[in-house]
Structure 1
Amino acid sequence: MPAMLTDAEKAAIRDHYRAIADNLPGFRSRPAQRQMLAAIANAFSRSKEAVEEGDLPERAGESIVVVEGPTGVGKSLAYLLAGGIMARARNKKLTVSSATVALQEQLVNRDLPFVVEKSGLPLTFALAKGRSRYLCPYRLYQLTSENAQADMLGFDPGLAVWDKKPEEAEILQLREMADSFQHRQWNGDRDTLPANVEDALWMRVTNDRHGCLKSACPNRPECPFYLAREVLETVDVIVTNHDLLLADIAMGGGVILPAPDSSFYCIDEAHHLAKKAISQFAAEHSLSQAMFWLEKVATTAAKVEALTAKHELADQAIEAAGAAMETLTEWMWLLGAEPALAASSDNLEPTWLIEDGRLPEHLKLPSANLALSARMVFKHLSGLSDALAEKRKGPDAAQSDKLASDLGFLLGRAEQMMAVWDLFEKEPDENAPPIAKWIIRRSEGKGDYLFCASPVSAAASLASTLWRRAAGALLTSATLRSLGEFDLLLSQTGLKWLPEVSCQALDSPFDFQSQGELYLPPLNASPKDPGAHTREIVEWLPRLVDLSHAVGSLVLFSSRRQMMEVAESLPEPYQEALQVQGMLPKARLLEAHHQRLAAGQPSIIFGLDSFAEGLDLPGEACVHVIIAKLPFAMPDDPVGKTLARWIEKRGGNPFIELTIPEASVKLVQAVGRLIRTEHDYGRVTILDNRLTRQRYGKKLLASLPPFKRI
C-alpha cells in the first residue's frame, strides 16, 4: 500500500512542525507524535477520488488509520497539524469529532488556537452543534406574540407543541428569552443562555428539520442555526461530537456537516463510537403520546386542506392516523394480557424483552399494521407539507407558516414512530446480529407503554454509511486495544470488513517501570461475594492509604452501593478525608480535593465508572489509584442481553468474547489515572483476587502498563 504524499505536503508538515519548536521555548519533539503525524498524512494521501461526479470509488479502508496514542503523546497537535495540512492540500474539510463536551471545548478554545499561532498554519475553525441546541426565533416569537399569549392563557388545544397548559413562569421565561434575543444580548445558542431552561420548555422553542420553514421563514436572516451553518461552509476545520456526526450520517451525510466524501475525519475518543452509533440507530415512542399527537392529525390536516385544496391527501392522512390509533388500541389490549408485563409490588414498571428480537406469532400482524400505518401517516403528512410550502409563496404566508410549524411537529413524531415500527417489523437474516425489541410498562398517570427497539451492533451501518464513503479517517484514543489487540474495536465499528485499514499502537513517553508500582494484595474474598469483599476492602484501605502525607488517592468502584457501604464503614479520620462522587457536583468535588491538599491535608476521592476515564489529577493530586474490582459489565440492559444470547446461540461465549475484552479497555483507562505527566509517580492497587486466580487474569495484567510489581 504505497504512500502518495507529495513533496509539497511533506515539506508543509515538516516546516509547520518545526515552526512550533521554534516558537515554543521548551517544546520537545516526541518520536510517537512524529509517528502519528506521518501515519495520518500517509493514510489521507491514499484517499481515492471519484472517477465520475457522483460515483463513489471502491474503498477498502486504504485511507483509514487507527492510532492508539497513550497520554502524553500529544495526539490533538498531531491530528490537527497533519489533518489540517492534508485537508487544505486535497481540498477537503477536516471534521474533528469527540465524545465529550470537555474535549470539544479544549479543541476550540485551546488546541486549535495554539496550532494556528505556533505553527503558522492558517486554519479557520468552528464548532458544529445539532439543530436542537439552537433557538427557532419564528417559534419563540409565535409563542410570545400578543395573539399567542391569548391562545396560551386560554390554552388553544390545537397548538400541537403544547401537550399541557403552559404555566405563568414558563410564559415569563419565554418573554425574557425573546427580549434578550431581540436585543442581541443572547445569540440563540442554548449553551450560552444565562439562565437554565428546562428541557420540556426548550423543546417548544427549538426546531427540527420537519418544522423548519427553511428559506421561506420570515426570521431566516437572524436564525442562529442557519447563521452557524453558514460559518461551517467557510471554515477549514469543523469540531463536532460523535452524536451529531452519527445523526448527520444517518440522514444521508452532508446535511449539517460536510459530506463524507469531501471530509477527512479525526475521530478522537474513538472507543465510544460503536456504542454511540447503536444509540443513534435505536428508536422508541410511548403509546399514550402517540395517541395524543395522532388525534391532532385530523384538525391540522383539515386546516391544510382549507388552504391548499389537497382533499385526497388530507383524507389519506386522517385515515392513516385513524388506522394507527386503532392498532395502538389493539396493542393496549394485547399488552394488558401479557404475563411478562404484569406489574407487582416488587416491579411497578416491568420490561418485556422479546426473545432474540423475534416477535411471537400473535404480534406479527399488529406490528406489520402499525409499521404500515406509521409509514402512511408520514408519507401523507409529508405530501401536505410540500403542498403548504408551495402555498406559502402566495398571499396566505402568515397563516400557512403557523400551520407549517404545527405540521412539522407532527412529521417529527411520525418519523420517530415509523423508525420504531420499521425496526419491530424487521427480522434480520439468520447470520446477521438481531434487533433488540422490548416494551416497558409505565405506571405513572393512567399508565402507559414504551415501545423500544435497537440494533445490537452498528458495525454494518458504520461500514456502509461512513467508512466506505469517507475520503479518509483517523480513529484515535489513549486506549483502543483490548487485551493488546485492536480486534474488538475493528469488529464493533465495522472496520474489520475493510481489509486495508492500518492500525498503530504508539509507545508511551512515560517510564512506567520507574514511575509506578502495581500491587495486588492477598485478598481472601472474591468480588462474587459482595458482602465479604466489601468488609475486606474496609479492612485494607487504612493499610493502603497513609493519612500522614498530604497527597491524593483515587478509589474506583464498579458499584455505587459498595462505594457507599465502604465510605460509611471507614474509621472517622478517613471519612473526614473523603470526597465521594454524587455527594457534590464533580467540579466542586475536585475543588474540595485540591483545597485539602493545598492546606497540607490528605484527600481521598471515591468514584465510579465515569471517574475512571478523562479525570486528570497530575502530580501529588493522585499518587495512589485503588481499584475495588475488575470493571466487568454484565449485560443487564435489553441490547446487551439480546447480543449475549445471540453469541451463545452461535456457540460462542459472551464472557470471553465481550465482557473480558471490554473490561480490559476499562481497566487500562482506570489505571491510566495514575501517570499523567513525565514527573508523576505512584502506585496502582487492585483489590480483586480474580487477577491471580482466574486464567483470564494473566491476559488482563499483560495489557497493563509495565509497572514495577511489588
Structure 2
Amino acid sequence: MLTDLEKHAIRDHYQNIALSLPNFRPRKAQREMIAAIANAFSRSLPQAEGEEAPKRNGESILVVEGPTGVGKSLAYLLAGGIMAQTRQKKLVVSSATVALQEQLVGRDLPFVVEHSGLSLSFALAKGRGRYLCPYKLYQLTQLNAQDSLQGFEQPSLLWDRKPKKEEIAVLRNLADQFASRQFNGDRDTWPEQIDDQLWQKVTNDRHGCLKAACPNRSECPFFLARDTLENVDVVVANHDLLLADIGMGGGVILPAPINSFYCIDEAHHLPQKALQQFAAEHSLNQAMWFLDRVGNVVDKVAGVLDKSELAVAATEAASGLQESLQEWLIQLAEEPDLRVEEGKNDSSWIWANGQIPAHLAVLVNNTAVCARMLLKHINSLNEALSVARRDKNQDGSFLDLLSGDLGLLLSRSEQLVSVWDLLATEVVEGEAPLAKWIKRLIGDKVDYSFHASPISSAAKLAYGLWHRAAGAVLTSATLRSLGNFDLLLQQTGLKGMTDTAMLALDSPFHFAEQGELYIPALTASPREPAAHTAEIVQWLPKLINAHEEIGTLVLFSSRKQMQEVALKLPDTYLPLLLVQGELPKQVLLQRHHDAIDAGKPSIIFGLDSFAEGLDLPGELCVQVIIAKLPFAMPDNPIEKTRNQWIEARGGNPFMEITVPEASIKLVQAVGRLIRTESDYGRITILDNRILTARYGKQLLACLPPFKRIG
C-alpha cells in the first residue's frame, strides 16, 4: 500500500509543477495515471539479498494506454521517481526510439526536476558497442604508426586484411581527439559518420574487454558511463539494451531487476524487439574465416600457459566444425529453395514448423556438438589466461593482447553455439516451435546464413523480466487492439500473470468537434493492386487542394504503390510532393515545415514508419489519407512459422494476429491528425474493405469518434 509520505510527496510535487507554470492545466487522465503507477509500485513484493525470489503474479505491473495529450512521461517520471526513492529502487525508463530517449534526457527529466522540486539525478545508458575501447584504439594506431603501410603484419584478429590509409587516418584522428579530451569516446558524439566495420575495430565486447586489468581502465568511456549509472536515480535506456541485459541474466549493464522499477514507454514495440534480441544467425563464410584463425591464437595462448592439450582440443573442434560447414555447402547446393533465380536478391529455405529435415538431422546435431566443444575449450583457455594475467611476474602487455584475441574467439564461438543450439532444438508437441531457416546470400562467393528464432518472446519476457522485476509499467498511446489488451498481454508474457493491472485512459481531445472521417466509395479493392492504384490517383486531386496552404500526409503500406501514385499524379502536384526515401527524413520534414511556414501547401507521401511517432501539429497536418488498411504480409520466416503453428492448432492467424495488429497500426496512423487540443482536420481511408469486410466494423469501432461525413 501507499504510505502517507508517498501520497503527500506525489501531491506536493505535482502541485509545485502547477504553481510554477502559469498555463499548466492539471489533466484528469494524467492524475489517474500517476495514481495507478504509484499504487502498482506500492504492491511490489519485498525481497532481501540472498533470499529466494517471491512468487510474483503481476501485482506490481501496470499496463496503461495513454493517448496523445495525456502527458505520460510526466506521469511516470514523477510517480516512478518518487516511488523508486522511497522504496530504495532504481527507476529504469526504456523507449523504443532514440528520439524519445533524447526527449526524456534533454527535456522531460530536466522539466520534472526544475518545476516539481523533486531531486532526481539521471543518466542515459548505452551498450558497450557505442563506446570506443582506448586500449584497442591505441594498440591499432601505435602498431600502424608509420606513414608507409608496406610490410604490414597482422598483429591480432582486429584486421582480416591490410588496412587502408584513410582508415588509419580516421583511427589516428579518433586517438588524437580522445587523448586531448575533445572526444569523449561516445560514437554518437563524433561529428562525422564512422563506417560500421571500422568502428568495430575500436569498440569491444564483454569477452574482449580486459576489465580491471586494462591499463586504460581509468579513461574507458564505457566504464565511466557504467560508474555514473551506479549513482543516479533514473537510468534511461532503450528496449534493445534492456533486453540484452535481461538476456545476460539482468544487472550486467543496467541495475538488477530485483532493484528496479521499470517504465517501458512505446511498449507496443517490446514483443518485436524481444524477438530480434532472442534470435540468432551467422554467415557460413564468416564462420569459416574465424575458424581458420582459431589454431594460431590458441597456440599462442598455450605457449604462454603450457596448456597444449587444451589448444589441441580447441583446434580439433574448430576443424570438426569446418568439416561440418563444408558438408553444409555440399548439401545446400542441391536444395531447390535456395537456387538463385534471375531478379531475386536472395532465396530462403524455411524449415516447415521448425522441424529439422530428416536427411539433415545428423549433420545439424554434429555441427551443434562441434560448436559446443569449441566454446568449451576456448572458455577453458580464457579462464586459464585470466588467472595468468593476475600473476604480476608475467608479461602483462603480451597477455593483454592475447586476451583481446581470445575474447574475440569466445564471442564468435558463443554466436555459433546460440545458432546451432536453436537449430538443433527438437519441437516439443504442444509447444510453440522455433522458426528455422537458411538464406543464400548473393555475392562474389557462394555464401549462406543460418537463422533461428522463437516465434514468441512471451516466455523469455515472463521469466527473464516480469517474474524478477520489483515493478513495471508498460505504456504507449496505442496498446489495445480491437478494444482490448489481449494481444499485448499474450505477446509480452503477461497473459498468465492474472494480477497485472490494466488501464485505458480517456483522450483529452474532442474528436467529434476537431476531426472528420471520410470513407469514399471506391470500386477497386486493394486485392487488385493496379486498379486500386489507378483509383487512388483519381481520388487524390479531389481530396487535396493544390492551392490550400495546409499540410497533407498520405500513408501507404507498399513502397511500390507509393512510387507509382507519385509518378501518375497531375503535374501541378509534383512541386508540392515530398516522398519518403527520396530525401533523408529530417531534411524532408524540414522542407515540409518550411513550405507551411511560407504559406504554401505541402504533401508528404510516407510508409509505415511515418504512421507512428510523427508529430505534425497545427497546419503541418490537416489531412491524413490512408491508402490501404495496414495489414502485415506474413512474408518473413518467423511469421510464416507462427501462422503454420496457429493453423495446425485449428486457429485462424488472420483473425487472431493480422487483424488485431492492423487495428493498432490503423489507430496509430489516424493519430497523426490530432496532436493538440487546437488541431483540426480530416481522415480519409481509401480502402473499401473497412466497409465491406466482416472485420471492418471492428476496425472502425476502435477509431476515435470523429464526425462521419460523405
TM-score of Structure 1 vs Structure 2, range by shorter chain: over 0.9
Q: SS at the partner of 2:449?
A: strand
Q: Does structure 1 residue 392 correspond to structure 2 residue 389?
A: yes
- With over 3 angstroms needed to count, the CA separation of the structure-2 counterparts of 1:283 and 1:148, relative to structure 1, is farther
1:49 to partner: Cα distance: 1.1
Structure 1 pair 482/152, CA: closer, same or farther in 2 (3 Å)?
A: farther
C-alpha distance in structure 2 between counterparts of 1:398 and 1:207, whole Å:
17
- Could you list the per-position Cα deviations for residues 46-73 of structure 1 after superposition, in whole angstroms to 9, with x for gaps in the alignment? 0001266241110000000000000000
State the match for 1:443 in structure 2: 442
- Indicate the SS of the match to 1:651: coil
Q: Does 1:265 align with 2:262?
A: yes
Report how far residue 573 of structure 1 moved: 1.2
Q: Choose which of 100, 109, 112 in structure 2 pairs with 1:112.
A: 109
Structure 1 residue 345, shift from structure 2 partner? 2.1
Q: Superposition pairs for residues 179-578 of structure 1, below 5 Å? A: 179-347=176-344, 349-393=346-390, 394=392, 395-578=394-577
Q: Compared with structure 1, are the counterparts of its residues 611 and 351 closer, same or farther at alpha carbon in structure 2 (3 Å cutoff)?
A: same
Determine the C-alpha separation between the residues in 1 that align with 2:594 and 2:523.
37
* Alpha-carbon separation, structure 2, partners of 1:619 and 1:344: 49
How far the C-alpha of 1:43 sits from its partner, in A, is 0.3
TM-score by length of 1: 0.98
Q: Which amino acid aligns with 2:381?
A: L
- The residue identity in structure 2 corresponding to 1:624 is Q
| Residue 475 of structure 1, CA deviation | 0.1
Once the two structures are superposed, what CA deviation does each residue of 1:101-157 show, in whole Å capped at 9, x if it has no partner?
000000000000000000000000000000000000000011000467699653434
CA contact (8 A) 1:463 1:497 kept: no
State the partner residue of 1:58: 55
Is the contact between residue 142 and residue 148 of structure 1 (CA under 8 Å) also seen in structure 2?
no
Aligned to 1:167: 164
Shift of 1:246: 0.1
Question: Residues 612-623 of structure 1: matches in 2 within 5 Å?
Answer: 612-623=611-622
Amino acid at match of 1:316: A
Corresponding residue for 2:84?
87
- 2:66 alignment partner in structure 1: 69
Query: Deviation string for 1:550-595 (max 9, x for gaps)?
Result: 0111000001111111111111111111111111111111111121
- Which deviates more, 340-349 or 438-447? 340-349
String of CA shifts for 1:216-273, please: whole Å, max 9, x gaps. Answer: 0010000000000000000000000000000000000000100001000000000000
Taking the aligned partners of 1:137 and 1:154, their CA distance within structure 2 comes to 25
In structure 2, relative to structure 1, the CA distance for the partners of 1:505 and 1:491 (3 Å cut) is same
> What residue is the counterpart of 2:133 in the other structure?
136
Give yes or no for contact 1:76–1:111 (8 Å, CA) kept in 2: yes
CA distance in 2: counterparts of 1:642 and 1:472, whole angstroms: 33
Asked whether 1:658 is paired with 2:652, we answer: no
Q: Is the 8 A contact 2:144 2:168 kept in 1?
A: no
Q: Tell me whether 436-445 or 300-309 shows the greater mean CA deviation.
A: 436-445
Alignment-mate amino acid for residue 289 of structure 2: F
Measure, in 2, the Cα distance between the counterparts of 1:347 and 1:609. Answer: 24
User: Cα distance, 1:621 vs. partner?
Assistant: 0.7
Distance 2:344 2:579 in 1: 29
Contact 1:579 1:606 in 2 (8 A): yes
CA offset digits 1:362-410 (Å, max 9, x no partner)? 2111111111111111111111111112222333101111111111111
Q: Distance in 2 between matches of 1:674 and 1:149?
A: 59
Alignment of 1:124 onto 2:121: yes
**What is the CA-CA distance between 1:158 and the residue it aligns to?**
5.8
Aligned-partner residue type, residue 127 of structure 1: L
Q: Say yes or no: does 1:671 pair with 2:667.
A: no
- Structure 2: runs of 5+ lacking an equivalent: none
In the comparison of the two structures, how many residue pairs are matched?
A: 707
Cα pair 1:158 1:299 within 8 Å, conserved = no
The 8 Å contact of residues 427 and 434 in structure 2, kept in 1 or not, is answered as: yes
| Shift in alpha-carbon separation, 1:520–1:96, aligned structure 2, 3 A | same
In 1, Cα distance between the equivalents of 2:670 and 2:537? Answer: 21
Letter in 1 for 2:59: E
1:627-657, CA deviations, whole angstroms, 9 ceiling, x for partnerless residues?
Answer: 0010000200111111011111110011000
Alignment partners' CA distance in 1, 2:12 and 2:101: 27
CA distance in 2, matches of 1:18, 1:257: 32
Q: Is 2:708 the partner of 1:709?
A: yes
**CA drift at 1:322:** 1.2
Following the alignment from structure 2 to structure 1, what is the Cα–Cα distance between the partners of residues 530 and 635?
21
Amino acid at match of 1:10: K
- Paired letter, 1:247: A
The CA RMSD over aligned residues, in Å, is 1.2
Percent of aligned positions that are identical:
64
- What is the match of residue 35 of structure 1? 32
Matched position secondary structure for 2:254: coil
Paired letter, 1:37: I
Q: Partners of 1:548 and 1:364 in 2: how far apart?
A: 66
> Are residues 1:633 and 2:632 paired?
yes
Gaps of 5+ in 1: none
Give per-residue Cα distances to partners, 1:482-515, cap 9 Å, x unaligned: 0111000000000001110010000000000100
Instruction: Give the match's secondary structure for 1:604.
Output: strand
Residue by residue, what CA displacement relative to the aligned partner does 1:145-181 show, whole Å, maximum 9, x if unpaired? 0467699653434621212221110011001000000
- Partner Cα separation in structure 1 for residue 423 and residue 143 of structure 2: 45
Counterpart CA distance in 2 for 1:449 and 1:235 is: 45
Q: Is the 8 A contact 2:550 2:620 kept in 1?
A: yes
Q: What's the TM-score, normalizing by structure 2?
A: 0.98
Q: Are the aligned partners of 2:555 and 2:610 in contact in 1 as well (CA < 8 Å)?
A: yes
Taking the aligned partners of 2:48 and 2:16, their CA distance within structure 1 comes to 37
2:436 and 2:452 in contact (8 A); partners too = yes
Equivalent residue letter for 2:353: D
For 1:152 and 1:422, locate their aligned partners in 2 and report how far apart those are by CA, in whole Å. Answer: 42
Shift of 1:428: 3.4
Amino acid at match of 1:131: R
